[in-house]
Structure 1
Amino acid sequence: MIRTVVLDVGETLTRDDRHWAGWADWLGVPRHTLSGLVGAVVVDGRDNADAIRLLRPDIDVAAEYAAREAAGRGEQLDETDLYDDVRPALSALRALGVRVVVAGNQSTKAGDLLRTLNLPADLVVTSAEWGVSKPSPDFFHRVVGVAHAPADQTLYVGDHPANDVLPAAAVGLMTAHLRRGPWGHWWAGGETVQQVADYSIDSLLDLPGLPGLVNPGRRGGSHG
């Protein structure tokens, strides 16, 4: 039984193209160079910021992030960053009466930008706003707290096994691994992911048709 669906942000709802392109331009390196390094850290199972550290070993990523913001070249997010299946999938879930929550490892600014998009979601919140990040169990305990449903009736959807599927399952949440983005594709065939994830999906449009999805009362249409 699934009463609430909670979704990751990067490479689940939004493309990371603009994110990495912005960092490459800021660091003065070709975009394909940084993209290649992102692939390398994916294969190694490392933090994605390590791609930047491979280019500049002594860099303070947080300080550099602040410098980008101060220069007017910081985070940006608009409708073009959303994957095409986001609005129809989330709208379909809400029309079925399912509670939809967006919760991922993002900055406070990203949370503000996401809410500006008026997504078909009941709640949009980020790790920076909570003060705790994935894969910490505390993040997923916070997810349970806003789900308005027990953990075993809440489905967490994400592309990253180590940040999404495994820690969410460890606190009792149901999980769906999304084959999207570098992490989603590279680790999709991993034995651990296949054993732990309750579902493996190729599109968010697969969510409304999942077995076990309950209809506690239709909303009469989706809204943001």
Structure 2
Amino acid sequence: MIQTIVFDVGETLTRDDRYWASWADWLDVPRHTLSALVGAVVTQGRDNAEALRILRPGMDVGAEYRAREAAGRGEHLDEADLYPDVRPTLGGLRGLGIRVIVAGNQTEKAGALLRALDLPADLVVTSAEWGVAKPDREFFRRVLKASGAAPHETVYVGDHPVNDVFPARAAGLRTAHIRRGPWGNWWGNDPDVVAAADWSIHSLTELTSIVNE
């Protein structure tokens, strides 16, 4: 029986539109150009940050992130960034007695911004706050500790095969691959992803029926 569901953040709970648009504006390139490059690296299985380095070879992404923050053009999250199914699903799961955790590869600031949204979750934490990022196995050890349930009673939900589905399964968790965003849609029919995911979903609302199976 499922006791805990753990959610990735980007393109699972939040849309990445604003994130990439802000990077395009900072680099002074058309937003469509950067979006297209993000799509290109996704199809090659490369990290999203490689899209930035295509535009600015050798770019220190961390340094540029700090420069954006110093200029007042850094990270921002508000209600508009959430997918419409987030609040009803998280709240509905908690109503069923499921422990809800949000844990993804984000910065400390993103963690604070997410908590400020007062999501219906028992815990909201980021990789920067834990000091370890996906797909590192230690990240999923932290997930299981926070879960308070056995691996087979814990589901990790995410869009990214390499960061979410594969390492979560390797750690013994059950997995739900959400088919939205560039990664979720492009890799949704990949045989390895299909084999590794316990469920393939198009909306978070499908999780309610999964916990009742």
What is the DSSP-based 3-state SS (H/G/I as helix, E as strand, rest coil) of the residue aligned with 2:124?
strand
* Per-residue Cα deviation, 1:54-80 (whole angstroms, up to 9, x for no partner): 000121100000000000000000000
For the aligned residues, what is the CA RMSD?
A: 0.7
Residue number in structure 2 paired with 1:169: 169
What is the letter of the counterpart of residue 137 of structure 1? R
Counterpart CA distance in 2 for 1:12 and 1:3 is 20
Structure 2 distance, partners of 1:167, 1:212, is 25
Identity value in percent:
67
| 1:80 pairs with 2:80 | yes
After superposition, residues 37-116 of structure 1 pair within 5 angstroms as 37-116=37-116
TM-score, normalised on structure 2? 0.99
SS in 1 for 2:75: coil
SS of the residue 2:43 aligns to: helix
Q: Which residue of 2 aligns with 1:156?
A: 156
Partner Cα distance (2:85, 2:171) in 1 = 28
The answer for the alignment partner of 1:203 in structure 2 is: 203
Q: 1:23 matched to which residue of 2?
A: 23
* CA distance, structure 1, for counterparts of residue 92 and residue 201 of structure 2: 16
Q: Which aligned runs of 4 or more in structure 1 are off by greater than 2 angstroms?
A: none
CA distance in 1, matches of 2:160, 2:79: 23
| Distance in 2 between residues matched to 1:162 and 1:58, nearest whole Å | 24
User: Aligned to 2:101, what secondary structure does the other structure show?
Assistant: strand
Secondary structure at the counterpart of residue 23 of structure 2: helix
Q: Which residue of 2 is the match for residue 189 of structure 1?
A: 189
Displacement after TM superposition at 1:152 (Å): 1.1
Which residue is equivalent to 1:136? 136
**Distance in 2 separating the partners of 1:185 and 1:59:** 28
Segments of structure 2 that go 5 or more residues without pairing to the other structure are: none
CA distance in 1, matches of 2:196, 2:2: 17
Q: Secondary structure at the match of 2:58?
A: coil
TM-score, length basis structure 1: 0.94
**Is the partner of 1:210 in helix, strand or coil?**
helix
Aligned length: 213
| SS of corresponding position for 1:125 | strand
Q: Which amino acid aligns with 1:203?
A: S
Give the secondary-structure state (helix, strand or coil) at the position aligned to 1:169. helix
How many angstroms apart in 1 are the aligned matches of 2:120 and 2:179?
22
What is the letter of the counterpart of residue 30 of structure 2? P
